[in-house]
Amino acid sequence: MEKGLKGNMLIAQSGGPTVVINQSLVGALTEAKKHKQIKGIYGSLNGIKGVMEERFIDLRKETSATLSRVAFTPCAALGSVRKKPDEQDCAEIFKILQKYDVRFFFYIGGNDSAETTNILNESARKVSYEFRCFHIPKTIDNDLLENDHTPGYASAAKFVAMAAMGDNLDNVSLPGVKIDVVMGRHAGFLVAASALARVNGEDGPHLIYFPEKPFSKEQFLKDVEKVYSKLGRCLITVSEGISDENGEAIASKFTKEVDTHGNIQLSGTGVLGDLLADMIKKELKVSRVRADTFGYLQRSFPGIFSEVDAKEAYEVGKIAVKYAVAGNLDGSVSIKRKPGKKYSAYFELVALNRVAKNTRSMPAKFINRQGNNVTMDFIDYAKPLVGTLPDIGKLKRYPVKKR
Amino acid sequence: MEKGLKGNMLIAQSGGPTVVINQSLVGALTEAKKHKQIKGIYGSLNGIKGVMEERFIDLRKETSATLSRVAFTPCAALGSVRKKPDEQDCAEIFKILQKYDVRFFFYIGGNDSAETTNILNESARKVSYEFRCFHIPKTIDNDLLENDHTPGYASAAKFVAMAAMGDNLDNVSLPGVKIDVVMGRHAGFLVAASALARVNGEDGPHLIYFPEKPFSKEQFLKDVEKVYSKLGRCLITVSEGISDENGEAIASKFTKEVDTHGNIQLSGTGVLGDLLADMIKKELKVSRVRADTFGYLQRSFPGIFSEVDAKEAYEVGKIAVKYAVAGNLDGSVSIKRKPGKKYSAYFELVALNRVAKNTRSMPAKFINRQGNNVTMDFIDYAKPLVGTLPDIGKLKRYPVKKR
């Protein structure tokens, strides 16, 4: 019975966009076409919201020319949503899935989307609705449990590293203190990637702050003063999720908006950067202090992606379908790394409830003892994922003899 | 005498960085090496500040390998400065120029830097110090008088267009109102470039606001409501320099910092975007409103540049030296456009005082009557400068028949 299940497939995308999320869609779709037990291949528009509203599109009709362009286009081609279904939603959803004879369901997203997938899967078991239910990983935050890293992360990390490279050069040109706020609600992987910007000895970012370490205003000001008095400039990258010792996000003191998963809005506002800049201006009497918040560009900027990331995002979509048609009932595709010097990854199916809801943080060994920089362990971890960065030239600056 | 002037050359960079400002440096240096009347080729670190502190480097010693890497590296390789010299500064500067026998002086920068160049030149005439004094144009704002466009603009415009492309896709994925704040103190050329992001019918930015048109809160809210009620989403790009009918910048109501040219700080803060987002949340009762400020990435992001821009930036450096050794006394290199369908530019030497101090704005024909969008004239103007943008794929979305 298991292996012989036949019916239609439904795939949807959920949560914040990434630059490679459509690779997973196209990977899954391409694989699905190879299997006779999969009849119709439908896409739901805007995740489970689209399921509830029966807004389905026929993905079999899309040409391969369209699909190969879509694969390299950032952000959810099917539209996305941030919605956690309750019991009543699930009941409605199963009526609709049954009506459309959906037997293969794939949800591309982060931990909240894994939770949604898990809720749907458990509800299906309760009503004995037979279907295959898979979560395909995606998040720039890189915070999914059971994964070495997640599709979307490396491309966002590349953007952050390039942005920090440029901003370091900007800070050399016109010295002062510059703060760059980087995405990452609970995990510092993305802000950590700014360290890849360093090419030459005194390159910034000189200080990096993570959500994993309690943020102390006093220590922060001391750190900045130390760098600034030595170099006459200071480039700082800060996670949007930095929190005080009670775990309250610094930025959350200024914003109250939450989504249905209970997440506070940290992105799409410049308030944290401005707060930190004002603090430095006032307390350290540095005149030129600026703050930028990299914002949505980190997850949506077209044309900048990691080759490894694009390839793996395609693979996790493809392999999810393979797992489904091979008779597996449910699960989440996870990416593991083979031990050894040369980077190599493999995939494993893990239980939905092991990636749902909770998130992982940066391992302690990736952050230095002072909590204001990454370690070489992190660089070794991130470098092969991100790949080549732009070549940065620098004048040797041979001094002219004073007259 | 004029043509036979011999001595050392000094070149410096000033004002905000661009992605191609080092092309001009390398262009000038490469040309200078061809002329025997130019002896030493010195670079001053951090503009005229470096002159006053005698921080000179010997550019002849830099290898061509270094120089070709530097040419493609963003931000001032010599360091930059924002400083307007007063009479006393000029007196000091000439003592130093004389001591180092500097007879050829080149200053790469925007209108403030042209003003500095002009002040130096006029002071030199007064004290009968014989030297050649040239301004090499550079500004992402594209606001230099006498120029069709300026080096640095097209690359920044490309970044803005790409950022808006990505953010439009993000806004399609997760609908809501999104505001992107773009650089450009008095001129809307850069925010206008966001219009190049539009590929398909309903692509944003749907509304664009310029510093050239008085910003009315009421009209803004009406505009947003109209788009949002039609599309269920709205992408807005806004110049950091938008001002009320009295010419007071909206952002300046929240910041007081000024530089020595009297310019108020508009960049390096997220305050304008946050203000506009709050306004929409409160007045239009739209729940999902976000704001990003593109910030310094627009002028410093490595690896993204317009081919035309890089080439022209090199050329203006090269041609400034040619003018100087051909016996011209002083001036600013300007870029003009040949009439005709196919894009073609040429260069002209103009008097320093014609580009110094004042700036130009967007021609009226580039902005629509309602003041919330560009015209086709602008697109025709900007497209050949910016060049190719990433290919954006889109699903055709063939609907599945409702059951």
Indicate yes or no: CB of B56 within 8 angstroms of CB of A400: yes
| pLDDT tens, N- to C-terminus, chain A (403 residues) | 345 799 999 999 999 999 999 999 999 999 999 999 999 999 999 999 999 999 999 999 999 999 999 999 999 999 999 998 988 998 899 999 999 999 999 999 999 999 999 999 999 988 888 999 999 999 999 999 999 999 999 999 999 999 999 999 999 999 999 999 999 989 999 999 999 999 988 999 999 999 999 999 999 999 999 999 999 999 999 999 999 999 888 887 665 555 556 666 666 678 899 889 989 999 998 989 999 999 999 999 999 999 999 999 999 999 999 999 999 999 999 999 999 999 999 999 999 999 998 899 999 999 999 999 999 999 999 999 999 999 999 999 999 999 9
A330-337 β-sheet, strand order = A56-58, A38-44, A7-13, A102-109, A132-137, A330-337, A345-350
What kind and span of H or E run contains A320? helix A307-325
Query: Is some CB atom of chain A closer than 8 A to the CB atom of B264?
Result: no
Return the bridge partners of A333, or none.
A349
Confirm if B147 and B332 have CB atoms less than 8 A apart.
no
Whole-prediction pTM: 0.96
Identify the active-site residue in B89, B112, B141, B223: B141
Residue B350 backbone phi and psi in degrees, to 5:
-120, 160
Query: Is some CB atom of chain B closer than 8 A to the CB atom of A391?
Result: yes
A210-265 pLDDT per residue, tens? 999 999 999 999 999 999 999 999 999 999 999 999 988 888 766 555 555 666 66
Query: Is some CB atom of chain A closer than 8 A to the CB atom of B266?
Result: no
Indicate yes or no: CB of A296 within 8 angstroms of CB of B167: yes
| CB contacts, 8 Å: B59 with chain A | 395
Distance, CA of B41 to CA of B36 (rounded, Å) = 11
Indicate yes or no: CB of A75 within 8 angstroms of CB of B395: no
Separation of first and last alpha carbons in chain B: 91
Confirm if A272 and A240 have CB atoms less than 8 A apart.
yes
Residues 293-332 of B with CB under 8 A from A: 293-297, 299-304
Distance (Å) from the C-alpha of residue B44 to the closest C-alpha of chain A? 10
| CB contacts, 8 Å: A265 with chain B | 290
**What is the overall mean pLDDT for chain B?**
94
A308 contact partners, CB below 8 Å, separation of at least 6: A154, A343, A384, A385, A386, A387
Tokens 């700014």 found at: A194
A38-44 and A234-239 strand pairing: unpaired
Q: Which of B99, B166, B300 sits opposite A302 (nearest CB)?
A: B166
| CB contacts, 8 Å: A57 with chain B | 395, 397-400
**Tokens describing residue B223:** 């505009």
**Tokens describing residue A296:** 């949505």
Q: What is the pLDDT of residue A1?
A: 39
Residues 7-66 of B with CB under 8 A from A: 13, 16-17, 19, 22, 40, 42-43, 45, 54, 56-59, 61-63, 66
Count CA atoms within 13 Å of residue A44 on its CB side. 28
Q: What is the ipTM of this complex?
A: 0.95
State the amino acid at position B162 in one-letter form.
Answer: M
Nearest to B346 by CA among B319, B378, B323: B319
Burial class (CB in 10 A: 0-12, 13-18, 19+), B216: middle
Residues 198-227 of A with CB under 8 A from B: none
Q: Which of A59, A277, A395 sits opposite B57 (nearest CB)?
A: A395
Query: Does A141 participate in catalysis according to the annotation?
Result: yes
Distance, CA of B132 to CA of B291 (rounded, Å) = 47
Eight-class DSSP state of B219: H
Among chain B residues, CA nearest to A96: B403
Indicate yes or no: CB of A170 within 8 angstroms of CB of B290: no
Return the bridge partners of B333, or none.
B349
Q: How do the residues of chain B divide into helix, strand and coil, expressed in percent and rounded to 5?
A: 40, 20, 40
State the amino acid at position B13 in one-letter form.
Answer: Q
Arithmetic mean of pLDDT, B219-243: 97
What kind and span of H or E run contains A275? helix A271-284
Burial class (CB in 10 A: 0-12, 13-18, 19+), A329: middle
